Structure 1
């Protein structure tokens, strides 16, 4: 039985969020060596969890749907922190609390006060927050993205501007911040430029390539006007200067999809997860 797994797991129990990642990676076809490397656990630990799940004959999809406290109880029986009746009552109201949070002026503190009035022996505020957070996280799709070294360079301007003081006039001058990232290594580059206009943008991008010491196979801009004249899911129109720049450096430009760079890095955002 899966409720007996805990006594057979050596060492400190793993976080249930990590075990869910293990299950998803295994479902996607990843080998135990790859799973262990990605999750930072030993291969033997990974094998133990997978073996016991297989021996128990449990549906992994059902395990993934369980809240962390329930899943932890399944793997590590006898956890006194979990009480079924108390949790079931809170669980029945989580959808309501999630909707209420979207209303102006409604906070988690107010929701907890309402909850504890209806269940005086209910969870403490930190525990209430934990279960509510699990509810919100469960609504978000996720997946493991594989990146290849030197394949793509993601670029954009930061949302907030930086400012500096002109020493001769004392004037506060705003400037834009160009940022770039290689997703395989998480190597990042940033530079401040006067504006987001095409000349400043291309200057920043050329400084980026020079600093990185090479050119990626593809540059992925977040539909900024200096690079993309018209954003479109199927046929985006590039700024000709951007095209000339890419041809000069022997690379291609692949504008991010409609959801922006976040959707490009996480397809679940664009409904492809």
Structure 2
């Protein structure tokens, strides 16, 4: 019922992820927990990778090693040693929801399959620690310069061909800084990787710097496989991250708190920037972006006049929007 998972097997990462662990630790200066979130791996796995890198004398940037050499340096082949399988705590949690199933019963079944496994006290202690990590809800205290949150607005805008009258639907890219909610807006004709990355570059130019991390929603342009545990970044997005020395932390699936900042920013953009432009006709993407930028700057000037959170509430906006737009 509980397949054995050795601690050694748990600590092994692909060569691509090994490189990313070392880069994020050295360049982005992320914590072990943040790196684990980026890679969709356990924090203990990240810690083990870093420990092995130190023991092997490896640091970022890595020396010229091919994949086999790097893997052998971190995970050298040694004579078989005694391995103690880790209980499958996810399976244990599911089983405990069944009436009459106790921890003692599950431990006895675990020991029957793995006689060299841990004792009951350690079984309970480790399960409680695992459960605490699953139930913990992080308090998001955004540090200036730490994160930027990016997404496309749900609403679109139109660009009309002056000669043919053909209408092109423009997507609206939104980037918001975590601490200040300072927001950047740009219209693009598509949500392709090229437009997605170009909008990122221009948002960084607008902000005047690069945050430690960028948090995208699981848009296909940025995340190829939006898995809660192991998101797989688009290769071009990965190249962008390495070029700018920034970490990409995809919002976790079904974790709305991860992207609350940008959702507030999107809501504000739709209300205070896009809505006032709804009656205007734009004949080029450049004209549309000029109008968006003008409306964005006007909104920030309005905020700087000293509107209180209560005033923004009376206007039907969320309190945090007072610092956003």
Q: Structure 2-normalised TM-score? A: 0.37
Q: Structure 1-normalised TM-score? A: 0.43
